[in-house]
Structure 1
Amino acid sequence: MVAVIGVFGGVVGFGAGWLGRLVLGRVRRGVVAPRLWCEVGVGVAWAAVAVRVAGGMPWWWVGVPLVLGWGGVLLAVCDIRAYRLPDVFTLPAYPVALVLVSVAGLHRPGVWAGALGGGVLLGGAYLLVRVVSPGAMGPGDVKLAGSLGLVVGAVSVGAVLVVLAAAALLTLGAASWLGRGAIPHGPTVLLPAWLVTAFAPWS
């Protein structure tokens, strides 16, 4: 039964990724994504969420990893292809994150405190890096960080610190492996952020 649910989630995610690829190619400062990049990425993410739902993920949290999985794949593809995170995705992420956190906050005490702390922590850290060393952090990364901090912080502020550390290590590792200093940072922060939300230890 769990396998069937996972396959169903993957199929629906594949379709959502296909739609996302079309959107990504039409929005301002978007990119033409290679065929199947978005479809497979969102399909895998949504299949994992479907399996987690079958395993007991509360309904009031499901929207967070689904939305982050969809938007995160589109942003990661755009960053890999064009080294940018478009405002058309990063700015609307704030009201979307607030709505998702509000739903969770109705069912889980303490969610709002963690979300606000996470937003300030992740957004502030990225803004500080941008101010101190503009070449090390793009403006799109800073705009994305606050909304990511909200949803990750809703899990716990400690999770935000884990995402910060993981993103830094992944960025350094990718730069070393590719043999160049300038690499897109979006994917390296989006992946651990999604993992935290998808595998949050809600009872």
Structure 2
Amino acid sequence: MTATAAQPLLVAAFGLLGLLTSPLAEALITRSLPRLGGLPSPVIRLTTAVATAVLFALLTIRFGFSPGLPAYLLLGVIAVQLSRVDVVHHLLPNPLVLLLLTAGLGLLTMSAALVPDWSGLLRAAAGAVILFLGYLILGLISPGGLGMGDVKLAAPLGMYLGYLGWTQVFYGGLLGFVVGGVMTILLLRLKRGIKPSEVPHGPAMFAAAIGVVLLVA
């Protein structure tokens, strides 16, 4: 089934899967990373569950029942959880970023073998390296603007974007800074006394990358 032929029932089913996956992911994160504290409040848990369900539905519309769908569903659920953690704790935990990179690579490798699309997998590896080095250089130049967590996150995002194409890598990387800049300006205006370095950049990176995945063919 192609993306254009994805049936409403399939989309609804994966949306429900996202709704159920979110609390499971939060429970696993709480258990494996106790330093983050206990489970978030019921309001936050409901918000993340709805956000994950919406992302699962949109990604299903985008990819259909294709070999690449599981990899991008993983991106969706971890994007929501890492954004939540970054907003609350100003932290992108290494284990979660590493999970996104390694598990995502495994799922993309499986997709490349089934399609087959080995050139896409090589492009994914190159995209990860390119986006990581780009963020690393900017992080070293302006350490107050980017944290090392943001730099590390650039690698899996570059991988996911690279698997789809070079256009996605370019726009995903560029828009990450644009969205981050807009979010920083808004938060500085809404919260007096906050410093630019205190604005989490991870959610902006995820928003830009997933937006490009969904909208740029």
Change (3 A) 1:165 1:129: same
Distance 1:72 1:10 in 2: 16
* Structure 2 partner of 1:150: 159
1:48 to 58, 65, 79: 58
1:71 is displaced (CA, Å) by 0.7
TM score, norm. by length of structure 2:
0.82
* Structure 2 partner of 1:136: 145
Is residue 173 from structure 1 mapped to residue 189 from structure 2 by the alignment? no
* Structure 1 partner of 2:191: none
* Structure 1 partner of 2:131: 122
Asked whether the equivalents of residues 119 and 147 of structure 1 are also in contact (C-alpha less than 8 Å), the reply is yes
1:185 to 201, 208, 211: 201
What whole-Å deviation, never above 9, does each CA across 1:22-42 have from its counterpart, x for those lacking one? 223333243543231221111
Distance 1:48 1:194 in 2: 10
Mapping of residues 1-203 of structure 1, within 5 Å? 2-28=7-33, 29-30=35-36, 32-33=39-40, 34-53=44-63, 57=64, 59-106=66-113, 107-179=116-188, 180=194, 181=196, 182-199=198-215, 201=217
Asked whether the equivalents of residues 123 and 162 of structure 2 are also in contact (C-alpha less than 8 Å), the reply is yes
1:169 is displaced (CA, Å) by 0.8
Distance 1:48 1:82 in 2: 28
Distance 2:133 2:210 in 1: 20
Distance 1:24 1:112 in 2: 29
5+ residue gaps, structure 1, are none
Change (3 A) 1:198 1:61: farther
What whole-Å deviation, never above 9, does each CA across 1:152-181 have from its counterpart, x for those lacking one? 111112211101111111111111112252
TM score, norm. by length of structure 1:
0.88
Q: Which amino acid aligns with 2:8?
A: A
1:85 is displaced (CA, Å) by 0.5
How many pairs are equivalent? 198
Change (3 A) 1:52 1:155: closer
